[in-house]
Structure 1
């Protein structure tokens, strides 16, 4: 099946060439200052595309590297390193045709072999990537066997036919497979550079990239500096000459720095959107954003015995007053969450979840009943610790949770730590409950629901359900997986391995002279090459 037919069947759009980089309307007067400074809450754990797990890290890597496809402002796929692809009639073999003008920052052509190396490296158990499972989710042939160490990475279903032709074999037809290719873990990597420098290959002086920008400075926990790459294939249409990412753990301080002109974009602190929208109507924005905020519970052998009781887990969820969190604390257009998958996910059919329709008083009464049945209450309190990463917003929600739980006889101790320590503790099951959020890797419900399978690299709470696993595996071959996704959500509502709290909105202050950021893509995927600053 040729590209045009394949994309039509997949409901994907290839944009006109003007969407490849900054699409500046005719007559626009550009500013002489074409720099963009954006905010990061936490230090980026890794600049390695196959190692990074963070949304903020992906925002940086998407500018330093480029995969097979990018997204346009509405979320449709547009050519990146791949100009097109063919799909076999059985839907199992993708043949990608790479653009010959794509080169690395040292001038070496980007080859199909660079993708083969990166994908094998991602799946290789020796790499110990938390995203190794992504190859399995993509249904790449033999991915599960490679990640399990049963066969060598060379057996992965990806090969270079020639320098500009990449062939990928998957195990079952997957309509959204091309959409998964925008994720940073699938970006190419240079074998010679990584083998020469080892873990130091991500230092600015060693790093070789193929994106629209090159890394010029990275001070961990402080800043990332990126210059426009002269070797990028579409450099002539890239207007922004420099990108800066500043790490500021204190969101209120970050807002102050934005108002002082030091930042061009920053998240709005909890509760301040209504005021800022009145004061700065052209700068305060709130858009749907495919992320879900939860408290994950540790169900592993290392977790508290109490949390192995589903009655306790349900009580913790029922007693969470989401309306207070969303309407009184956040106030930025977020939605209360009683399920896991973000409400705006394409095609997702929300299940009927009983407690979502109760009043908060009804939820609290049911929580008391369940805790009493489990042997807990004010006379026999349940002691738990909640870990959360540094953020004033996370702190406010955690303090509210303490107050919600205290009347039920639940004593919640709050434990704040920086991001890397927080995620390391989650990965090693060193927690009772942990603040967590997941942002979709692509716009389809499986990006959320696959996380709670037993083979997921991010199922830090170690929830396990044979029925759930079976549903998610069946969804990969189902002609219409949506009913299976609904059933999976119902299992989560019954087993309650997490406390769903809210579905995100992207609530930002954005300088009015910055143009080109997406507003109609629920993934909120942005590229520096699409941006430009207009003259004031």
Structure 2
């Protein structure tokens, strides 16, 4: 067995303590230690095993804590676990849990809580959309359990004792420690979940093990949290109160930031250059591991036209990414011709042929492909694009209408609220849909596994060759070979129109410190944040 601990790299040695908040030299803490952040949409659930949203994950990282957290660069560091042993065959992880970890009701956090949560995630009875994540982690028997072929108690995870958790994998997975920073793997208190039923996540009932506790939640308006005195490292948590405000209009949210109601807000499309000049210490842009695109429904409920790869390619080729990035967004985003974000650790960007063409060449090819597929002036291609409420989504969608119009493509726009948008995608009730995938962990497979036949894959895409390549990547000494092949298959099949790779473009108060700026995942922990005197 190899004993490992977690810092910015995995190295042999002893377990390290967690990193306490340390104000820089010359900084003095403000009396007011509160932080208010912006939410575009309502937090649908605060149940770790049922959440699917990025914003929901931001909240869950405050209310719960997993085996590991991330440091400012995105590397795994101790959470509930102080470290782990890895077996010689690299198939068994033995995590050592800190005995001082408690739930917010004072109960000890034990290995049994993780076993319960992981079984709950895989159990079909939970109906967790992220059940597939347990499969991606390669936990023993996960696939059979998700399919209903084995019982949840056969999952390859067990409590050796209260403070020792053993996880058995089916194949070596070098990035496994990164995967257990994801909220779907966070523990839950079995007694509380079973006593509360569907209402266990309500304020006053939710019991977490994170640095903060849920104070109130007015769905679609605000969610507020207070410092958790039972948190094992509460003595080093400076922030006392955090709040998320839901504002569906990004421009209104910016106005509320300027009025002092928010401490962090996304900068609306096109406004970064102006705000950076006016507020250089507040306007920020850093790489963010998400890719934006238009997902095409090639499944049973999808339109016949989109079952033709020539049509899908034409839609991608005709997308004018440079206009979107340079004229609409203007915040440091990059045009996307592939799925995996360029800044993911270790990822080698493949050579995608149409990425090197001029836009004029792409348009000519798009026209030719549409003609081959039987579409033209006498038979226009009619499609509907669904997108959720947001000014930048609207501006890009309106631009797409104009990009496609000269090709004889009539694109109808359908704006719906976030919950309706996600419900329709999950049920396959759409033709084209605005979509973005944000990495669950800092490794390329988190993007590519999405398009597996068994992945989230709302568009119903399925290619056995793609699945085979991704299977091979799991045991490859150099998985970038398989990732390149997978990206090439996607470029040939084109199940979505990739549009841009994200940058995190925000206004952040200059008295707020401790937010990560070097982590492409942009995962943040309020226990690391503090406010200084100005």
Contact kept, 8 Å, 1:64 with 1:215, in 2: the verdict is yes
Contact 2:336 2:499 (8 Å CA) reproduced: yes
| Residue of structure 2 in register with 1:2 after alignment | 2
Shift of 1:14: 9.3
The alignment's C-alpha RMSD in Å is 1.5
Structure 1 residue 9: Cα displacement: 8.3
Verify the 8 A CA contact 2:63 2:213 in the aligned structure 1. yes
1:472 aligned partner = 470
2:230 maps to: 231
**2:5/2:82 contact within 8 Å kept:** no
| Aligned residue among 503, 519, 522 for 1:521 | 519
Distance 2:164 2:504 in 1: 38
Specify the alignment match of 2:298 in structure 1.
Answer: 299
Per the alignment, residue 377 of structure 2 pairs with: 378
Determine the structure 2 residue equivalent to 1:344.
Answer: 343
- Checking the alignment, whether the CA contact within 8 Å between 2:8 and 2:75 is kept in structure 1 is no
Q: Equivalences for 1:111-510 in 2 at 5 Å?
A: 111-456=110-455, 458-510=456-508
TM normalised by structure 2 equals 0.98
In structure 1, the partner of 2:531 is 533
Once the two structures are TM-superposed, the CA of residue 477 in structure 1 deviates from its matched residue by 1.1
Output the CA distance in 2 between the equivalents of 1:9 and 1:350: 23
The separation in 2 between residues aligned to 1:242 and 1:519, in whole angstroms, is 22
Which whole-Å deviations, capped at 9, do the CAs of 1:123-157 have from their partners, x for residues lacking one?
00011111000000000000000000000000000
Distance in 2 of aligned mates of 1:377 and 1:331: 34
Check 1:436–1:229 CA distance in 2 against 1; reply closer, same or farther (3 A cut). Answer: same
State how far apart, in whole Å, the 1-side matches of 2:326 and 2:294 are. 19
Deviates more, 1:109-118 or 1:70-79: 70-79
Q: CA deviation at 1:5?
A: 8.0
State the alpha-carbon separation in 1 of the partners of residues 449 and 525 from structure 2. Answer: 27
Alpha-carbon distance in 2 for matches of 1:11, 1:296:
40
Q: Aligned equivalents of 1:239 and 1:322: distance in 2? A: 43
* CA positional deviation for 1:379: 2.1
CA distance in 1 between counterparts of 2:13 and 2:263 reads 30
Tell me by how many angstroms 1:4 deviates: 3.6
CA deviation after TM superposition for structure 1 residue 197, in Å: 1.0
Give the distance between the partners of 1:12 and 1:535, measured in 2 at CA: 40
3-state SS of 2:200 partner: helix
Distance in 1 between residues matched to 2:371 and 2:232, nearest whole Å: 65
Per-residue CA deviation, residues 446-473 of structure 1 (Å, 9 max, x unaligned), is 00000000111x1000110000000111
CA contact (8 A) 2:4 2:86 kept: no
- Write the distance in 2 (CA, Å) between the matches of 1:526 and 1:166: 26
Matched residue pairs, number? 534
Q: Which runs of 5+ in 1 are unaligned?
A: none
From the superposition, tell whether residues 125 and 180 of structure 1 become closer, same or farther in structure 2 (CA, over 3 Å).
same
Say which SS state the counterpart of residue 94 (structure 1) adopts.
Answer: strand
Q: In the aligned structure 2, how far is the partner of 1:8 from the partner of 1:411?
A: 50
Query: Aligned partners of 1:209, 1:303: CA distance in 2, in Å?
Result: 41
Q: Which residue of 2 aligns with 1:86?
A: 85
Residues 371 and 377 of structure 1 are in contact (CA less than 8 Å); yes or no, is this contact kept in structure 2?
yes
1:120 is displaced (CA, Å) by 0.2
Alpha-carbon shift at residue 190 of structure 1 (Å):
1.0
Whole-Å separation in 2 of the counterparts to 1:485 and 1:91: 22
**8 A Cα contact 1:44 1:221, kept in partner:** yes
Change (3 A) 1:81 1:528: same
- Name the CA distance, whole Å, in 2 between partners of 1:7 and 1:256: 39
Shift of 1:393: 0.5
Q: Is the 8 A contact 2:37 2:263 kept in 1?
A: yes
Do the aligned residues in 2 keep the contact of 1:157 with 1:170 (CA within 8 Å)?
A: yes
Return the alpha-carbon distance in structure 2 between the equivalents of residues 201 and 220 of structure 1.
Answer: 15
The answer as to 2:67 corresponding to 1:68 is yes
Distance (Å, rounded) in 2 between the aligned partners of 1:382 and 1:401: 14
The 3-state SS of whatever aligns with 2:248 is: coil
Distance in 2 (alpha carbons) for counterparts of 1:238 and 1:369: 61
- Alpha-carbon distance in 1 for matches of 2:93, 2:531: 38
Whole-angstrom CA distance in 2 between matches of 1:180 and 1:21: 23
Q: Is the Cα–Cα contact under 8 Å of residues 38 and 264 in structure 2 kept in the other structure? A: yes
Tell me the CA shift for residue 509 of structure 1. Answer: 0.1
Report if the CA contact (8 A) 1:13-1:78 is conserved.
Answer: no
Whether the aligned pair in 1 keeps the contact of 2:30 and 2:532 (CA below 8 Å) is: yes
SS of the residue 1:202 aligns to: coil
CA 16–259 in structure 1, closer or farther in 2 if over 3 Å, else same? farther
- Matched-pair contact (CA < 8 Å) for 1:14–1:76: no
Which secondary structure does the structure 2 equivalent of 1:230 belong to? coil
